[in-house]
């Protein structure tokens, strides 16, 4: 079972976004500001960890396009509030030796 992945988050908003890694206990151990047009790599190391993306202040993320692509058929759970998206890997039957990359493009200009 694959439990880890490299998640690349690309920001096409007009402002910066904040990307964090949420641990199983609810705390965050990584917080990165991603400027417009930039992309950052977040290592997601377990089924109980999540990548959380926060929209710029005053922006409701629910109205913005989000594109998520993985290099294999990997199920990724996501949830949304007005200002954040959260994503995590679901249990699967994939070979744990496969390197996994998930690409996320988010923002007003569309993926």
Q: What number of residues does the chain have?
A: 111
Please give the pLDDT value at position 74: 74
Computed over its alpha carbons, how large is the radius of gyration of the chain?
13
CATH domain 4-106 topology? Immunoglobulin-like (2.60.40)
Q: Give pLDDT tens digits for 33-84.
A: 999 999 999 999 888 999 999 988 787 777 778 888 888 887 777 777 777 8
Sign of CA dihedral 65, 71, 72, 75: negative
Pairing status of strand 4-11 against strand 39-45: antiparallel
For residue 22, count other CB atoms closer than 10 A to its CB: 18
Comparing CA positions, the residue from 47, 56, 46, 45 lying closest to residue 19 is 56
The answer to pTM > 0.85 is yes
**Can you give the residue ranges of every domain in the chain?**
4-106
Please give the pLDDT value at position 110: 45
Does the pLDDT at position 109 exceed 60? no
Residue 78 bridge partners (DSSP): 87
């Amino acid at each position: 079972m694959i439990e880890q992945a490299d998640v690349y988050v690309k920001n096409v908003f007009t402002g910066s976004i904040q990307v964090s890694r949420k641990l199983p206990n609810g705390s965050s151990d990584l917080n990165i500001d991603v400027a417009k047009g930039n992309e950052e790599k977040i290592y997601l190391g377990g089924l109980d960890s999540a990548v959380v993306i926060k929209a710029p202040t005053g922006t409701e993320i629910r109205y913005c396009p989000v594109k998520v692509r993985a290099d294999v058929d990997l199920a990724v759970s996501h949830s949304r509030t007005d200002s954040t998206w959260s994503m995590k890997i679901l249990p699967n039957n994939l070979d744990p030796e496969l390197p996994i990359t998930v690409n996320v493009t988010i923002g007003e200009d569309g993926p």
